Amino acid sequence: MTPNTDRNQDLFDRARRTIPGGVNSPVRAFRAVGGTPRFVQRAQGPHFWDANGKRHIDYIGSWGPMILGHGHPAVLEAVQKAALDGFSFGAPTEREVELAEAICQLVPSIEMVRLVSSGTEAAMSALRLARGATGRSKIIKFEGCYHGHADALLVKAGSGLATFGNPTSAGVPPEVVQHTLVLEYNNLAQLEEAFALHGRDLACLMIEPIAGNMNFVRAEPHFMRRCRELCTQHGALLVFDEVMTGFRVGLGGAQAHYAQLLPGFRPDMTVLGKVIGGGMPLAAFGGPRAVMEQLAPLGPVYQAGTLSGNPVATACGLATLAQVRQPGFYEALAAKTTSLMQGLGQAAREAGVPFCADSEGGMFGFFLLPQLPRNYGQVMKTDGAAFNQLFHGLLDRGVYIAPALYEAGFVSAVHTDDDIAQTVQAAREVFATLAR
């Protein structure tokens, strides 16, 4: 009997004995695509090496934070220096203030900000603050937008137009989501009806302006304009979840792009994560002073966190933001991402495979569909079997994309022309097999 030499499989088998599903976050388990997860041993620049020592071109980048690539010298130096001073104090530090100042300077809609440790925590806290600031209970979210695993946000659409949702997870009682309306993304009719029926009771509308959890789907400008108008008209807060898009699609996040299309546009609150921590556990939520001062210790809305504003994480975040603020950074990043999408599109056309793609800054999405989807239902029309074949074909050729058709991808500033060329060539070979 030939001995198993696949250390990824060995580690996965071992992990499943002590960790549910063998992973600490579900998408890592490869359940959507099948096969064995890659256990990362180390990473550098745009690459990582798995437990078998195989190198992969990384288009996940820790699901977005590694915008500078892995192990950027300036970031590494900042983290090492901070770690020497101490890992955690449970008391304020100067770097917390510096990071808050940087965020407020770079995102004009944010006058004050609270640092936390994860995107889920930030979204959950922003939701509580919106309810506390407005004195209302009901909220709107959109199918296909993921805002973390807080109970009130783990919900799918009900059976009728503008109805309240149903839990998507065991352990979430129906009464917990009874105040959550789930609408179809980019559906103006549902949006109008929801506000007509419930406008006086709505605390907030929470949305990913560019959804990254149904692959990559933009909120259309006229839809976003109406979200802003209706929230203003009815006294609800417009909450942008920019955990993925913040400092990833541009220096001011997705909201800066909408401000260019819709002069004067801004959300009331913003949830940030990923890039602002540079790969360390750090997130934030912020907005106008009058709203943020409702938080304890100034106001009645309670929120706390022992590790919030962690000194090593803030050092990592500050060093990352210092790099992305360099002139021309996002223009160069967007050019790399566009080049990758164009190359993949050309390879698909050569093989006669349905393909469409979109990108902004260093964030992208592609679909095995003839045209870009506008909502989650359209995303799910993608040929799942074909995507799985593409995923594994690329993986075998050393190209690592998200192991699920409904997740966006990410390019870093250090992906090279050669990385992109290798990726396109790998895709060309796989697309040829899909066309048979």
Report the side by side order of strands in the sheet with 283-287. 112-116, 283-287, 269-272, 237-242, 202-207, 138-142, 180-183
pLDDT in tens, 16-69: 999 999 999 999 999 999 999 999 999 999 999 999 999 999 999 999 999 999
- CA pseudo-torsion sign 363, 367, 370, 375: negative
The Cα–Cα gap between 401 and 380 comes to: 18
Does 4 score more than 80 pLDDT?
A: no
Average pLDDT score over the chain: 95
The Cα–Cα gap between 270 and 289 comes to: 13
Per the DSSP assignment, residues forming a β-bridge with 288 are none
pLDDT in tens, 184-201: 999 999 999 999 999 999
CATH 2.30.130.40 holds for 73-324:
no
Strand pairing report for 112-116 and 180-183 = unpaired
pLDDT in tens, 377-433: 999 998 899 999 999 999 999 999 999 988 999 999 999 999 999 999 999 999 999
| Phi, psi angle pair for 166, to nearest 5° | -120, 145
Sketch the domain layout of the chain as residue ranges: 7-71+327-434, 73-324
Give the confidence band of 85 by pLDDT, cuts at 50, 70, 90. Answer: very high
Which tokens in the block code for residue 368?
């095995």
pLDDT in tens, 352-374: 999 999 999 999 999 999 999 99
Domain 7-71+327-434 in CATH: superfamily?
Answer: Aspartate Aminotransferase, domain 1 (3.90.1150.10)
pLDDT in tens, 257-267: 999 999 999 99
322 contacts 74 by C-beta, under 8 angstroms: yes
- The alpha carbon of 423 is separated from its chain's Cα centroid by a whole number of angstroms, namely 23
388 contacts 15 by C-beta, under 8 angstroms: no
Is 73-324 the same fold as 7-71+327-434? no
Does 157 score more than 80 pLDDT?
A: no
Task: Please provide the DSSP assignment of 138-151 as one string.
Answer: EEEEETT----S-G
Among residues 407, 410, 409, 338, which one has the least CA distance to residue 376?
407
Task: Please give the positions annotated as active site.
Answer: 146, 241, 274
pLDDT at 5: 82
